[in-house]
């Protein structure tokens, strides 16, 4: 898998044309959703380097990360004369970088792609690492490919346009990066004031978070081993996300991951000895900032069925987890019985209130 060039922007107006100048292309396309079009595209619209760009806009939200919208993007590219020598910019959050990255990877067997993430979640997770895809058959990211963007431009100025919910959604992935890296990083994240956000301090944490992910992806680009560390919180998290979608009350990805980490930290405490004090410190931070997903023991069967479809499972009927023995002590390929999964869900319901 080719290496991504991640640029922490000093000034997007300078960094974007400089980055585009490194590539040759016949046509330039910019994909965005209706929110990005309203709040973010005006920032770059007048840049001379984008004056001839063809724009494509799709609906906002994960419900649009599907085969029908993907087909619309392909159709737009075809209609506008895109070739294998075109360049495709994804301007938006994780839904856009996932969908657009997959569209670029598959159109004419692949065209060059660049990500300009505009949400915290996309900056620290979706836009970096090369995973692309769409939801299918009610399942998160069921269809996709490893296809890294040639460049990722990180401009934290976009974060000031985000609402608090989307800041928190991205922050959950940062908290995960802290848990899988080291105690100092985790401690800074746990102590960060989410009510009065210091954006300069947040940018430093973003850079640190991206560095954690880049290091792991470089070690294991195709998720054969240590990259599974990045799945911490996601086995339960994806089940929660799919459950909420099925209930017609979708939740932001980071919220689902935060709730998933509550369960998987508890399982880590039981199975691999994760310290009880750090378990409850992290759970308290999540409880205070993310609230809870409402379900009862009557929903356990459905949640278990969603987990059975998780791509991380090593074999049919076996649910695979990434656990922690300590902050930074990663234990991949851990399995859980149905009884243990129910116990995790019981803990979640008890501790989250």
* Residues, the chain: 353
Mind telling me the catalytic residues? 109, 131, 173, 213, 223, 227, 231, 234, 238, 253
Give residue-wise pLDDT tens across range 261-285: 999 999 999 999 999 999 999 999 9
Helix residue spans in 192-333 (DSSP H): 199-219, 234-246, 253-271, 276-290, 300-308
DSSP bridge partners of 164: none
pLDDT at 318: 85
Give residue-wise pLDDT tens across range 69-120: 999 999 999 999 999 999 999 999 999 999 999 999 999 999 999 999 999 9
Give residue-wise pLDDT tens across range 31-75: 999 999 999 999 999 999 999 999 999 999 988 999 999 999 999
Q: Rounded to two decimals, what is the model's pTM?
A: 0.92
How far is 154 from 99, CA to CA, in rounded Å? 19
Of the candidate CATH numbers 2.120.10.90, 3.90.226.10, 3.40.50.1970, 2.60.40.420, the domain formed by 5-161 belongs to: 3.40.50.1970
Domain with CATH 3.40.50.1970 in the chain: 5-161
Domain with CATH 1.20.1090.10 in the chain: 164-352
Assess if CATH 1.20.1090.10 describes domain 164-352.
Answer: yes
Residue 84, exposed/middle/buried by CB under 10 A (0-12, 13-18, 19+)? exposed
């Amino acid at each position: 898998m080719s290496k991504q060039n991640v640029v922490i922007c000093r000034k997007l107006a300078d960094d974007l044309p400089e980055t585009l100048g490194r590539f040759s292309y016949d046509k330039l396309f910019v994909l965005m959703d209706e929110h990005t079009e309203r709040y973010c595209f005006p920032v770059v619209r007048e840049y001379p380097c984008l004056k001839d760009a063809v724009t494509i806009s799709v609906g906002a939200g994960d419900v649009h990360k599907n085969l029908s919208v993907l087909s619309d993007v392909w159709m737009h590219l075809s209609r506008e004369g895109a070739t294998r020598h075109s360049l495709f910019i994804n301007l938006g959050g994780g839904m856009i970088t996932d969908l657009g990255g997959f569209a670029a990877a598959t159109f004419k067997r692949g065209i060059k792609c660049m990500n300009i993430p505009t949400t915290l979640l996309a900056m620290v997770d979706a836009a970096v690492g090369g995973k692309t895809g769409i939801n299918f058959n009610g399942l998160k990211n069921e269809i996709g490919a490893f296809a890294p963007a040639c460049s990722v431009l990180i401009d934290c100025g976009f974060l000031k346009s985000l609402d608090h919910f989307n800041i928190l959604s991205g922050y959950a992935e940062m908290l995960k990066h802290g848990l899988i890296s080291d105690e100092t990083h985790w401690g800074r994240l746990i102590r960060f004031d989410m009510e009065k956000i210091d954006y300069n301090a947040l940018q430093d944490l973003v850079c640190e978070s991206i560095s954690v992910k880049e290091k792991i992806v470089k070690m294991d680009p195709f998720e054969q081993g240590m990259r599974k560390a990045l799945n911490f919180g996601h086995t339960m998290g994806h089940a929660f996300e799919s459950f909420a979608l099925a209930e017609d009350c979708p939740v932001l990805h980071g919220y689902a991951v935060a709730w998933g980490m509550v369960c998987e930290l508890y399982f880590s405490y039981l199975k691999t000895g994760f310290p009880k004090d750090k378990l409850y410190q992290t759970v308290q931070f999540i409880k205070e900032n993310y609230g809870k997903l409402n379900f009862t023991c009557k929903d356990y069967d459905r949640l278990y069925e969603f987990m059975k479809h998780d791509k991380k499972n090593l074999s049919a009927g076996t649910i695979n987890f990434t656990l922690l023995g300590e902050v930074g002590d990663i234990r991949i390929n851990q399995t859980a019985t149905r009884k243990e999964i129910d116990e995790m869900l019981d803990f979640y319901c008890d501790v989250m209130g």
